[in-house]
Amino acid sequence: MQPENIKTLIETEMPGSQAQVSIDGSHVSLVVISEEFAGLSPVKKQQRVYAILNDAISSGTIHAVHMKTLTPDEWAQQQ
């Protein structure tokens, strides 16, 4: 699976989100920025993204995922 495919999948399933994706073999690193994360715990944020990637993880296309999940305000504070 190519980074652009993962980016498109996340941004389609989470309208208004932005995803940054890098891949090293079957290991995926993500930064997902979405207003949808407002008020959610870190675990709930990750569960939301894992739900989108579940098919690729189940099939073994993606083996491991490292992610940062941020609201736009949290993202702005880190920049």
Helix (H, G, I), strand (E, B) or coil at 55: helix
The separation between CA 27 and the C-alpha centre of its own chain, rounded to angstroms, equals 13
Closest listed residue to residue 75, CA positions, set 28, 26, 18, 24? 18
* pLDDT tens for each residue of 14-33: 999 999 999 998 789 999 99
| Count of the separate structural domains present in the chain | 1
CATH number at residue 16: 3.30.300.90
Which letter does DSSP use for residue 53 in this model? H
pLDDT at 27: 87
* pLDDT tens for each residue of 44-56: 999 999 999 999 9
pLDDT at 77: 95
CB under 8 Å to 74, separation ≥6 — which residues?
37
Residue 40 confidence (pLDDT) above 80: yes
Q: Which domain holds residue 37?
A: 3-78
pTM above 0.75, yes or no: yes
